[in-house]
Amino acid sequence: MNTSKVNIKDLKLWYGESEALHGIDIEFSEKRVTALIGPSGCGKSTLLRCLNRMNDRIPGCRIEGQILLDGDDIYAPEVDVVQLRTHVGMVFQKPNPFPKSIYENVAYAPRIHGLAGSGSDMDELVETALRRASIWKEVKDKLHTPGTALSGGQQQRLCIARTIAVQPNVILMDEPCSALDPIATAKIEELIDELKREFTIIMVTHSMQQAARISDQTAFFYMGDLIEFGETGTIFTQPEKQQTEDYITGRFG
C-alpha cells in the first residue's frame, strides 16, 4: 500500500577496522514517519547519516551495499553529494541555527542552490518555509534578529524550516527533541505529524514514547544489526523477537 522511497540493500559500514553495520536491509516508505530505536552505539545514527552521506566526512569510514533513493543508488560515483543533500535534508540533535538572522538561516540553502533570487521570491520562499515549520507567527516580526537568540524549541523549528526550504523528499532527524523540554518536544512532534503529508521522515529517537506516538513504522537496531522492523503498532504491542520486547519494555538498554 505504501511506495518505497528509500531502499537499503545489505549495507555494511566500517569505521576503520571496526564494522558498525553488519548488512542492513530495510525499506522506508514514502510520506511516512519511520522511527529508528535501539541502545546507544547500535548504529541507528550511523545508518541515518549514510542516507545523506554525512559519513563521507569521517576519515576511515567505508561502506558496502546499496542505498537506493527512488531507485537510484546514492553512492554511485556520478552522484553529486551537494545535489543529494538537497533531496535528503537533515535536522540535528542539538539545534544548530547559523549565527545569522532568522531570514538568512532559511534563505541560505535556497540561495546557494539558486532556487530563488534575493527579491520578493526569496521573501515568499522564506515565509512559506517558516509557515510550514509552524514558527512563522512567532518570528514574523523579528526576521532580521539572530536565529541564535530564539529559545531551544524555536531554534529547532527554525532548523526544520531551513531544511524544508529546499524542498527535500526525505528529512532525516537525529534525535531532534533530545535537547528540548516537553512542551517544545510536543510542538516538534505535532510539526512532524504535519510534515509527513509531504515528506518522508526518518528519525532516530531514544524515547520509546515518542516513537510510539508519532511514527508509523519502527525499526529496532542492536549492535549494528536490524533486529526487527514493522508497523509501530505491531512492534510495540506484539514484537516478534524477545530482544525487541525486552528493550521496549525497559528490561535492558
Q: Which residues bind other proteins (CB under 8 A)?
A: 52, 54, 57, 59, 81-86, 89-90, 92, 94, 96-100, 108-109, 112-113, 146, 148-149, 159, 162-163, 166
Q: How far is the CB of 150 from other proteins (least distance, A)?
A: 12
Map residue 152 onto helix, strand or coil: helix
Q: How far is the CB of 84 from other proteins (least distance, A)?
A: 8
3-state helix, strand, coil split of the chain in percent (to 5) is 40, 25, 35
AA letter at 46? T
Q: How far is the CB of 223 from other proteins (least distance, A)?
A: 26
Comparing CB distances to other proteins, the nearer of 26 and 54 is: 54
Determine the Cα–Cα distance for residues 96 and 105; give it in Å rounded to an integer. 10
Determine the Cα–Cα distance for residues 120 and 34; give it in Å rounded to an integer. 36
118 CB burial (10 A radius; 0-12, 13-18, 19+): exposed
**Sign, Cα dihedral of 172, 174, 177, 180:** negative
Comparing CB distances to other proteins, the nearer of 90 and 227 is: 90
Q: How far is the CB of 17 from other proteins (least distance, A)?
A: 16
Comparing CB distances to other proteins, the nearer of 113 and 206 is: 113
* DSSP of 36-51: EE-STTSSHHHHHHHT
Comparing CB distances to other proteins, the nearer of 41 and 99 is: 99
Comparing CB distances to other proteins, the nearer of 15 and 108 is: 108
Comparing CB distances to other proteins, the nearer of 110 and 224 is: 110
Determine the Cα–Cα distance for residues 231 and 12; give it in Å rounded to an integer. 24
Q: How far is the CB of 171 from other proteins (least distance, A)?
A: 11
115 CB burial (10 A radius; 0-12, 13-18, 19+): middle
Cell 542552490 -> residue: 113
Q: How far is the CB of 13 from other proteins (least distance, A)?
A: 18
Q: Which residues contact 136 (CB under 8 A, 6 or more apart)?
A: 127, 130
Q: How far is the CB of 151 from other proteins (least distance, A)?
A: 16
Comparing CB distances to other proteins, the nearer of 70 and 216 is: 70
Determine the Cα–Cα distance for residues 207 and 103; give it in Å rounded to an integer. 32
Determine the Cα–Cα distance for residues 118 and 124; give it in Å rounded to an integer. 10
